[in-house]
Amino acid sequence: MKESVVVAMSGGVDSSAAAYLLKRQGYDVIGMALKTWPKELCDTVPKSQTCCSTRDIEDARSVAARLEIPFYVVEASVLFKSQVMDYFVDSYARGRTPNPCVVCNRKIKTGILLEKAQALGVERLATGHYAGVVWDETRRRYAIRQAVDPNKDQSYVLYQLTQEQLSRMVLPMGDLTKARVREIAREAGLAVADKPESMELCFIPDGDTQGFLKARVPQAFTPGEIVDRSGRVLGLHQGIAAYTVGQRKGLGIAHATPLYVLELDPAANRVIVGEEQDLAASACRVEEVHWMAIPGLTEPLRCQVKVRYRGDKRPARLVQDGESLRVEFDQPVQGGVSPGQAAVFYDGDVVLGGGWIA
């Protein structure tokens, strides 16, 4: 009997190629798409700017028809709003820079689809993420590993997946480059082979993050003071939610040297700025730590740490500090370490775990 697998199909080339490859490998493939936004929203913007819209679902449906596999659409807009969008909005209102893709991958994409797969009697779920799943026989634990293609690697946004989820995941894109994936899709005759990638957040398809936030948390756009580290007032800002740590443009301050956002203080409604060298961080505190390749930290651990999705891995030392972790970098990280972003820990190409920068 063939092993069955549900493939999360977004209508893009990666998930479409994943479905094709798994069918070719002998799996009994079932396509499944998540409907996270109402039709009227995504039909108002160009198709090249959308992801998870009604039109993307129709692209996924056409690929499923081409591959002659069953296809289901799962309504997820209510949960997506409460778990992903509300978290995103609340983070900006609190002066943090969120990463909604991390939350979505665990709670929505993987969480919901694994439940739906089980309802169909299917134990495996595949996605088009550029990453792999590994099993450590010594530790008896699953973990995510980085993709072969460093420009497409998505291991960073998968660090929250549980052992139960990982035990059922299939990630066929981990050993492929994007160029090869498009070739495979063309060879299979898939209409999405040359479909552009979505470059914006799926729920802000026009890229207007400030417009999106102003409509939901107008109080986060109350003007306030821009100050330096000493508290000296240098100007006025347009609202805490309009700024992120490391930002240089848009401050509206005449100064002898370029100024950057160092901190956001929502309690005092202040934006703290300084010069570029003031952004360097030798350490950071990480909360809500989720371990993957190891069960936990029993003593200080040396590893590599990413503090942003497209950032480099930095050699560092992890030290338990009460309920949180202290990450001590070998060399100061330039460009700003942003509260609200994820710090993901690596041992070579394997994800050890991660947490939120506090």
**Under 8 Å CB-to-CB from 47, ≥6 apart: which residues?**
53, 55
User: Which of the residues 51, 202, 284, 303 is marked catalytic?
Assistant: 202
| CATH number, residue 226 | 2.30.30.280
180 by DSSP, 3-state: which? helix
Query: Are residues 304 and 283 in contact, defined by beta-carbon separation less than 8 angstroms?
Result: no
Q: Is residue 200 part of a domain?
A: no
In a domain, 355, yes or no: no
pLDDT digits (tens, 9 = 90+) for 227-273: 999 999 999 999 999 999 999 998 989 888 999 999 999 999 999 99
Residues 181 and 233 in one domain: no
Mean pLDDT for each 10-residue chunk of the chain (358 residues)? 92 97 97 79 54 79 98 93 94 94 92 95 97 96 96 96 97 97 97 86 85 94 96 95 92 90 95 94 97 96 96 96 96 91 97 97
In a domain, 180, yes or no: yes
Residue 43 confidence (pLDDT): 54
Mark which of 263, 278, 293 sits at the end of a domain: 278
Residues 181 and 241 in one domain: no
52 plus 115 within the same structural domain: yes
Tell me the sheet residues that pair with 266: none
What stretch of H or E contains 330? strand 324-333
Residue at 19 is within a domain: yes
Residue 38 structure tokens: 């109402």
Domain termination residue (choose one: 233, 261, 278): 278
On whether the CB atoms of residues 105 and 158 are closer than 8 A, the answer is: yes
- What is the structure's pLDDT at 40? 47
Radius of gyration of the chain (CA): 22
Scan for tokens 């495979």, then name that residue. Answer: 184
pLDDT of residue 52: 55
Q: What is the pLDDT of residue 75?
A: 93
Choose one of 278, 297, 324: the last residue of a domain.
Answer: 278
Same domain, 231 and 179: no
For 11, half-sphere exposure in the C-beta direction (CA atoms, 13 angstrom radius) is 23
What pLDDT does 82 receive?
92
Would 339 be classed as within a structural domain? no
- Residue 206 to residue 46: CA distance in whole angstroms: 9
| Three-state secondary structure call for residue 250 | coil
Query: Which is the catalytic residue, given 52, 104, 284, 303?
Result: 104
In this structure, is residue 133 part of a structural domain? Answer: no
Cα(282)–Cα(332) distance, integer angstroms: 4
Strand order in the sheet with 28-35: 71-75, 28-35, 4-8, 125-126, 169-170
- Looking at the fold, whether 183 and 252 belong to one and the same domain comes out as no
Q: Which CATH number covers residue 19?
A: 3.40.50.620
Tokens 């998968």 belong to residue: 158
Q: Tens digit of pLDDT for each residue in 188-215?
A: 999 999 998 876 788 887 888 999 999 9
Domain region containing 122: 4-128+172-187
Examine the residue annotation and report whether 104 is marked as an active-site residue of this protein: yes
Flag whether 140 is in a domain. Answer: no
101 as an active site residue: the answer is no
Shared-domain flag, residues 177 and 61: yes
- Same domain for 107 and 232? no
Task: Read off the tokens for 130.
Answer: 């550029």
What domain count does the chain have? 2
